[in-house]
Each structure stands twice: as C-alpha cells, then as structure tokens.
Structure 1
Amino acid sequence: MTSRNTAPRPLSTTTAVLAVAGLTGLAGLTACGGADAGSGKAEVVASFYPVAWLAREIGGADTAVHTLTKPGAEPHDLELTPRQIADVGKADFAVYVKGVQPAVDEAVAKHAKDKSLDAASVVKTLPPPAGGEEEEEHEGDHGHAEVGYDPHVWLDPNRMAVIATALGDRLAKADSAHASAYKERAKAVAAKLGALDRQFRDGLKNCKHTSIVTAHAAFGYLSERYGLRQVSIAGVDPTNEPSPKRLAELTGQIKSAGATTVFTETLVSPKIGQTLAREAGVRTAVLDPVEGVADGSSDDYMTIMQKNLRTLRPALECS
C-alpha cells in the first residue's frame, strides 16, 4: 500500500466524494452567498453518493447538502451543466473523491480549490488496479489512469472512518459556532464505521475462497483490507467492455480459483457478468460498489455494505 503523491488531475464521475476546506466561520460563509442567509446553514456540494452520505451524517442540521450526481445514476458518466459548475463555485464546501469524475475535478480546481476536501487526500491510497487489454485501449477516456491511484477509497469502512474524522475537523474549523456538533457527529459516524469494519473482519475471517470476480475494479480497498483478491471484468471504469480474449482469460481464472460467483452491480448492465458466469459454470450475485442509491430507497451506505457482507459470505463459503 502506497501513499498518493501526484499532481492534480481531472476527476471522473465515479469517485467524486469529499471536498471541504478554507472556511472562515459562519458569518463569512453567509457573506459569500453560498449559505442560506435565512437558515444559517452552510451549503455543501458533494460529487456523488458516498461523500454526500458522509456530509449529511456529519453536517446534520447545520448544513444543506446537494449532490451533483442524480440518484441511481452511474457516477462515472457525469457531465456537469453550467448551473452545476456555478453551484460548485458558490458552495461553502465542495466534497469529492479525486479520480472518479473528471468534470467534478475540473470544476473544483477552477472554482473551489481553496474550499474543498478530496477524500482520497486524507487516507493511504493503493496503486491503480492492473487493467486488462480493454483498459489499455480506453486509457485516458475518463482520466482514471492519470490520477496514479485507485480512487475507490469509500469501500473500506476503516478509511471511511478516517475521512469522517477529517471532515468533522474541517467543518469545526470552518464554522466554530457548531464545532462541537460537527465533531460529535463525526465521532459517532467513525464509531459506526469502526463497528462495520469489525463485522467485515469477523465475517470474512475463515473463508474457503478468497477471489472475488467483480464487474469492475471497484473493490481493491475492500479486498486489501480483508485479505481478498479482486479479479475484475472491467478496469476502474465500468463502461469499458472486455474483449473475447479477456473473457476467455477470466473464465480460466474463475475455474482455477474455484470461484463460485461472478458479482454484478446495481448501476451497470449485468449482461457481461451473466455471460461470463454461464461460460464458467458459476452463479451471479449483486455486489454493490455504493456509487449511487435510487430515489426513494431506504438503503444507505451502512445497510448496503452490510448487504455486501451477507452476499460475500456464502459466495466465499465462509464459516
């Protein structure tokens, strides 16, 4: 595991998560025009669901959180409207994960550089996942390779706890009138995430298999944290389709690893995964990368991750 130390790059829609910084107190926030002068709430713009969840949990009643990616939409495909770009500039906080959504990366760099927090900047990052030939062919399409690390940091509850603490500290410094509330909420969120981490460690401790075959390379942090090995159909970008040669290679890897399941996703078509599973003679199941939640869903980050654990245990034949 290596720490990231790279030059800024454009962001893709899959990983926008946490940007928060450079604030000067609630009075200053209201004066800049981003906060609601009537309610006194600080305006927070979040790139996509995982950071939006974290910002709402920690910001509580003291913030108004707006998400750039529509509910249920695939974040990697995000294109910002002129109004959304303006909203990034007007907001008091910008929350994102650099390396997921190039459009968000660019908007933050141009309009919110001094009042943003990149969630990936406060945790140790992993190298970008090794892609198959389809990843090489499409390299640069969405800018993922340029960032120099895997941006899916939110899929490790332990790292999410670190991000939660960092966000609470930033908000407390920015808005001293509500400092204790931000810190208390951040502490509570970090504790919940710590408990989730323990559930995963205990649940995946004794498993017959350790390879997980995923729709795209989103689960590197989860795999690294809990001693698993990720085998991905697509690379970091789930829209890149594998060639017949790559599918044949994956079929062989599934059989040699004794894997029982090909994991599909909620926001991406399952057809390729289903085809691969048929070729390899295994079943499919949904493993959610928590990149978006449909409108009206009662699920949140915590419940989705708990469902993921319940899905992984039988697939890996854990005792």
Structure 2
Amino acid sequence: MNVRRLIPTATIAGAVALGMVALSACSSSDAATKSGGKLAVTASFYPMQFLAQEIGGDHVSVTTLTKPGVEPHDLELKPRQTAQLGEADVIVYLKGIQPAVDKAIAQSGVQNTVDATTLTTMEKHGTEAGHAHGDDDHADEETHAAEDEEASADGNDPHIWLDPVKFAEVAKGVGAALEKADPDHAAAYKKNTAALVTKLDGLNTAFEQGLADTSTKTFITTHAAFGYLAERYGLEQEAIAGIDPEAEPSPARVKELETIAKRDKVSTVFFETLASDKTAKTLAGDSGLKTDVLDPLEGITDKSKGADYVEVMRSNLAALRKALGAK
C-alpha cells in the first residue's frame, strides 16, 4: 500500500515545512546522508577524512570539521558545527591535536567515536625524547618548549599519520570501527581497509628504499611535525618552531641551526603549504641554503603537491631525497 496517498496534501506540506525547520541546524550534506541511508561519518581533519573516505567508499558520507586551507591546530568550532557532531553515526578524530574538537566530541553524545591515538603506539619526540644535536643545553630551550606545546596532553607527539606504518595501523582500527557501526557493509569495509593498507605498505617501502642511502640524515623544517617519519627512516628532524610554523626563532636557535646545517651538510630548509614561508626563507638566506616544501598533510589545497595523502607523501619523499642527497 502507498501510505503517502492517504495523507492530505496540506498535511504533507506542513510536515515538509516542519522538517525544514528541524533541519535548519544541520548541513544539507547531513540531511542527504540520513535520507540516502549512508553511514554519516564526521572527521576532525584531513588525515582522518582520508581514512574514512578510502575505507567507507560508497557506503559512507564523510564531512570534515576542518575545511581545506585552515590550520587544524587553530580550529575553533562554530555552534552549527558543534550541533552537527551529534548527528554523526561515527566520529573519527585524533585526540590531542585540536583541543576544541576534543571537547566538542566529548559533549556530543555520539556512541561510535574513534580516537586514532588509541589505535597505534604513541611516542614522545622533542624535549621528552631528547635531541641528538645542540652543543648548548640552553640555546634551544624556546624551540623545545614550543615543540612541547605541539604534543598532546599526555606529552605524546600526535603526528602519527606522517608515518605510513602507524597510519596503516590506524586504518585497520578505523575499518574495524566502521564494520561494527554498519555490519551490513562489513565485507566492503574489510576489503577497502586491506586495499588501503597495501597502498600504505607500498608507501613505506618507497620511503625505506628511497632514503636508505643519503649524504646527510638531517633536515630542517619550520614545523615540528615529522618526528615519527624521521624515526621510522633513520633521519634527524630539526624544527625552527613548534606549534606555530610562522613564529620567529630566537637568535640562539638560528645560530644553532646554522651550526647544524654546516656540520651535517644540510642543503634545504623546508616550509609547509598552510603557513608562510617567511621564517624558512629568512633562515635559508642567512645560511646560504635553499627552501622547499615538506607538507605535514594537515589539509589538501590547490597548493598541495598531490591530490590526496598518498600523492603528497610521495612528493614529500621526492623532496627529502633531493635535499638529503639520496643516491
């Protein structure tokens, strides 16, 4: 029986009007998700969005809280975004990198929340783990303090997505969470997870082979985001700044970096796409070094050297090989 035929037209019109009011606090994408029958997944920022889209495929509708071009660390949620969180079937986020998001998720009431930091082993980098360089114990205190600001509340470095091995571990956990939330499509999620893990394994192999034989192991970057990557492939990260890539380094830190650059035959100072290259260019100019992009992949924009995570990571590998003098 077609029930709708039994309902007067005026009643239908009224219901539609009421429905429009009820949906006013929700985005059109949320409404489409609910009516389309897809699993509504909200991702905190790009790396989590990438995982949800790759694993969820056609069975999910993914929205992200951090729009392209927005620095994730600085994100402040609008009331509308906070309200939308409660509409999600699943939330995928990385605790410790966006305090405003962490707070909103805790208050959202959503049962299926996936914290990426629980899906792999977190580590401490920066001051906690120690630095291999630096003759003066106090020369880079300001930089190390800034790096520590970047860490999550428990002191761990949150940038796990820049290590393909750890990112693959997170992918498996996200896949399992989607299977649990939407068992009708569990087989598809399992298949997509396996395909993504294969891609990430290939990326890891490319980095291992590409960085195995280089003239130097040290790279200088504005943003202390590459600790996991450096540790995975036997490199040494030296960051100009911590949480703020555009911060001016102290004179002591500049002097130390100049010393490190000469000693370790560093050729390049890296900057990133979502921040100004002013600091990197100033240091490079004073030290006679070149500049290039090393993308922390916190967002994809028109300036990104690739359309997605894998493509940008391969661009990062090419930049590192060139800067480190890979053979």
Task: Give yes or no for TM over 0.5.
Answer: yes
Deviation of 1:37 (Å): 3.5
Give % identity.
Answer: 48
Give deviations 1:98-156, integer Å, cap 9, x for gaps: 1111111111122146321111211111104229433566689x774523100000000
Please list every run of 5 or more consecutive structure 1 residues that lacks an aligned counterpart in the other structure: 1-32
**Quick one: structure 1 residues 128 and 90, their matched pair in 2 at CA, closer, same or farther if it must change by over 3 Å?**
farther
In structure 1, distance between residues paired with 2:106 and 2:32: 21
- Counterpart of 1:70 in structure 2 is 67
User: Given the alignment, which residue of 293, 311, 316 partners 2:319?
Assistant: 311
* Amino acid in structure 1 at the alignment position of 2:70: A
Q: 1:285 to 1:112 in 2, by over 3 A?
A: farther
Aligned to 1:89: 86
* C-alpha deviation, 1:97, in angstroms: 1.0
Partner of 1:214: 221
- Greater relative CO, 1 or 2 (CA 8 Å, sep 6+): 1
Does the 8 A contact of 2:246 with 2:276 survive in 1?
no
Q: How does 1:93-132 map to 2 (within 5 A)?
A: 93-112=90-109, 114-130=111-127, 132=140
- Contact 1:264–1:285 under 8 Å retained in 2: yes
Cross-structure match for 1:53:
50
Q: Which amino acid aligns with 2:58?
A: A
Q: After TM superposition, give the deviation of residue 317 of structure 1 in Å.
A: 0.7
Contact 2:95 2:152 in 1 (8 A): no
Distance 1:62 1:205 in 2: 40
Matching residue of 1:16: none
TM-score (norm 1): 0.84
Structure 1 distance, partners of 2:147, 2:189, is 40
Q: Which of 155, 163, 167 is matched with 2:162 structurally?
A: 155
Question: How far apart are the structure 2 equivalents of 1:116 and 1:280?
Answer: 47
From the CA coordinates, give the structure whose radius of gyration is larger.
2
RMSD: 2.2
- One-letter amino acid of the structure 2 residue matched with residue 88 of structure 1: L
Moved over 4 A (4+): 135-140, 295-298
1:271-314 residue CA offsets vs partner (Å, 9 max, x unmatched): 11111111111111111111111169761000000001111112
Structure 2 residue 50 is matched with structure 1 residue 42: no
1:233 aligned to 2:254?
no
Aligned-partner residue type, residue 122 of structure 1: L
CA distance in 2, matches of 1:143, 1:220: 12
Superposition TM-score, scaled by structure 2 size? 0.82
Matches of 1:78 and 1:239 in 2, distance apart? 16
How many Å separate the matches in 2 of 1:145 and 1:42?
A: 29
Q: 1:274 and 2:281 equivalent?
A: yes
Look up the SS of the partner of 2:298 in the other structure.
coil
Do the aligned partners of residues 102 and 317 (structure 1) sit closer, same or farther apart at CA in structure 2, a change above 3 Å counting?
same
Q: CA deviation at 1:234?
A: 0.6
SS in 2 for 1:266: coil
2:15 aligned partner: none
Distance 1:250 1:194, change over 3 A: same
Check the 8 A contact 2:273/2:303 in 1, yes or no.
Answer: no
Distance (whole Å) between structure 2 residues aligned to residue 296 and residue 65 of structure 1: 23
Deviates more, 1:102-111 or 1:123-132: 123-132
Write the letter of the residue equivalent to 2:115. Answer: D
Determine the C-alpha separation between the residues in 1 that align with 2:32 and 2:90: 10
Structure-2 change in CA distance of 1:137 and 1:217 (3 Å): closer
Looking at structure 2, the residues matched to 51 and 59 of structure 1 have their Cα atoms a distance apart, in angstroms, of 12
The Cα shift of 1:45 comes to 0.8
Superposed CA deviations along residues 254-278 of structure 1, whole A, max 9, x for unmatched, are 1222111111111111111111111
Cα distance between partner residues in 1 of 2:152 and 2:170: 23
Distance 1:35 1:44, change over 3 A: farther
Q: Deviations over 1:24-54 (max 9, x none)?
A: xxxxxxxxx9883321111111111111011
AA aligned opposite 1:174:
A
The 1:137–1:225 alpha-carbon spacing in structure 2 relative to 1, beyond 3 Å, is: closer
- Structure 1: how far apart are the matches of 2:31 and 2:177? 17
SS at match of 2:320: helix
